Structure 1
Amino acid sequence: MSFHELLTRPVRAPDRVIRFGPHPDQVIDVHLPPRETAPAVVLLHGGFWLSQYDRSHTRPMATALADLGHRVYVPEYRRLGQEGGGYPGTFDDVATAIDLVAAERRGRGGVTVVGHSAGGHLALWSALRHRLPASCPWRGEPAVEAVVALAALSDLGAAFTSGLGGGAAARLVHGRAELTGLLDPVRLLPLAPTTRVALVHGTRDRLVPVEMSRRFAARAAVALTEIEDAGHFALIDPLSAAWPAVIRALTPSGGGRKRSPACTLLAARTPFSRA
């Protein structure tokens, strides 16, 4: 399926909008469930951090997750091509949004961060902020209970050197490769032992190669579900055959596990038929 096909899926307008800064894109859409029966989700959209891709393409997924009982928070953030986009503004916005949601949810259960593509990179980075230097303003103890990374750009250094997304990773850091030490999930490992992480990736992904998730899963000793014949956008389409695997990854027993020193790689291959 294509990106444009995804935009035809049924959506609802958000029930609430939280503003966290003066820029028009410093906002969080909130989608409320009929009854809250599942963990709250922060949903970070992808698009190679580029301004032409905004949160609107994740609204079908946000609507579907809310229907399943999740309260869904969808942050927007400044992106490449906008004033303040890229380093450091993109990371300022994501850190601020997740901290705001975590504060709102304190005492009401943990927060699961779901990210797709570049949003997967930001989701994993959010769970690794405790590994940043003490002098870094983004450093913080893990406020994220679980991460589900869908077709994630989990290796920023590899994306930088290979030119994925037309060189978007290099633009993200203004060509300064040394900044990837602060921003690259694979370089910030290990994860906190209490953080559950699950990766999901389609084997036919032409935008972010599945090998990237395989390498991250091996390095981090976390679960990876490979969906055979699935492309990049099937993972965020509630009408795709890949969708049940994504929902399983969201549940603690279904697609991931908390890490421990003895944790071994869990790999699953889920058949997928093209629609």
Structure 2
Amino acid sequence: MTVRSLAALPQPKPAEIIRYGEADSQVVELFLPRTRPDGLMPAVVIVHGGCWRAKVAGRELVRPAAGALAQKGFAVWSVGYRRIDEEGGGFPGTFADVAAAIDLLATQAAERGIDRGRIAFYGHSAGAHLAMWAAGRHRLAKDSVLAASAPLRPRGVVSAGGLLDLQGQAARIRDVCGIDPAESLANPAAKEPFAETSPVDLLPTGVRMTLVHGIYDDIAYPALGLAYAQRARRAGDQAEIFVVPNAGHFEVIAPGTRAFEIVAAALEAFTR
């Protein structure tokens, strides 16, 4: 599956667009089930990919997935954020945006009928990096500009075709995205520049994680996910990895595919 074939899928419209900043990218798209379940709804926070660059892709990439998850009974909180080629993006802006959007959900969950205790994160590609980072940000040093006193911790996180080790995968990121993570996604003033921004440096998180990769993914190939899952398990975290046959980089966000079924099943298991 290609970006073009993904774009050909139905693009459901969000029930509401919620602004959390002044920039065009600083919005959340909220998708809701057509029929509200009895009681509070579980929720999925989706973070879209696109090589951390506005010129590559945005929230439209995950609208089919968001609509499909809403049909399964989830409230879906699809996070927009400033990318590295937008004013204010990069470090710390991109990360601060994702955190702010998620913390907004934490404060608004009750009034929107969302069960704050049943929230999972789900990110694709570069968005998987940000979703996994958000799941581990409670591990940030207290003096980090990105630290928060009580960040929302999910019940679990799904990385779909994720690039999760900014330093160890820097060459891969340069090849597929045309960016140097040391210049765009790290804290240049820190002794360890990636300590605040790379998910692998925040292990262990204590958050259950599922990694899903298509076997033919030529952007974030399965070996990258396996290496991360092994490090997470050695650190003491619960990590599963699924390598899906006959799938590439985009099936993991495409409803109707086996890869997306695995993603949805993991999210449902996390939020039971």
Taking structure 2 as the reference length, the TM-score comes to 0.86
Write out per-residue CA displacement over residues 189-221 of structure 1, whole angstroms, 9 at most, x where no aligned residue: 0112xx221111111110112111101111112
Report whether the alignment pairs 1:166 with 2:183.
no
Partner residue, 2:107:
103
Aligned to 1:45: 48
User: 1:8–1:158: structure 2 CA closer, same or farther, 3 Å change rule?
Assistant: same
How many positions carry a matched residue from both structures? Answer: 253
Q: Which residue of 1 aligns with 2:236?
A: none
Q: Which residue of 2 aligns with 1:268?
A: none
What aligned pairs does 1:3-18 form with structure 2 within 5 A after superposition? 3-18=3-18
User: How much does 1:171 deviate?
Assistant: 4.3
Over residues 61-104 of structure 1, what are the superposed CA-to-partner deviations in whole Å (9 max), with x where a residue is unaligned? Answer: 11111111111111110002111111111011001001111222
Q: Which residue of 1 aligns with 2:127?
A: 119
**AA paired with 1:121?**
H
For the 8 Å contact 2:92–2:146, the answer to whether it is kept is no
Mean Cα deviation higher: 200-209 or 154-163: 154-163
Show structure 1 runs of 5+ residues with no match.
255-275
Residue 120 of structure 2 contacts residue 270 of structure 2 at CA under 8 Å; is this kept in 1? no
Residues 2-42 of structure 1 show CA distances to partners (whole Å, capped at 9, x for unaligned) of 01110111122111111111111110010111234452011
Contact 1:36–1:71 (Cα < 8 Å) also in 2: no
2: distance between equivalents of 1:251 and 1:44?
Answer: 17
**What CA deviation, in whole Å up to 9, does each residue of 1:211-240 have, x standing for no partner?**
111011111121111112310001101032
| Counterpart in the other structure of 1:188 | 202
Q: CA separation in 1, counterparts of 2:98 and 2:267?
A: 21
Q: Percent identity?
A: 38
Secondary structure, aligned partner of 1:243: helix
Stretch deviating more after TM superposition (121-130 or 107-116): 107-116
* 1:25 aligns to 2:28 (yes or no): no
Partner of 1:269: none
Distance 1:33 1:168 in 2: 40
Q: Identify which of 139, 143, 147 aligns with 1:139.
A: 147
Cα distance in 1, alignment partners of residues 242 and 108 from structure 2: 31
Task: State the match for 1:148 in structure 2.
Answer: 158
CA contact (8 A) 2:212 2:263 kept: yes
- Decide whether aligned partners of structure 1 residues 253 and 123 sit closer, same or farther in structure 2, where only a CA change above 3 A counts: closer
The 10-residue stretch of structure 1 (162-171 or 72-81) with the greater mean CA deviation from structure 2: 162-171
Task: Flag structure 2 segments of 5+ consecutive residues without an equivalent.
Answer: 234-238
Distance in 1, Cα, partners of 2:187 & 2:93: 15
Write the distance in 2 (CA, Å) between the matches of 1:134 and 1:239.
43
Partner of residue 84 from structure 1, selected from 88, 95, 111: 88
Mean CA deviation greater in 134-143 or 228-237: 134-143
How far is the alpha carbon of 1:247 from its aligned partner?
Answer: 1.5
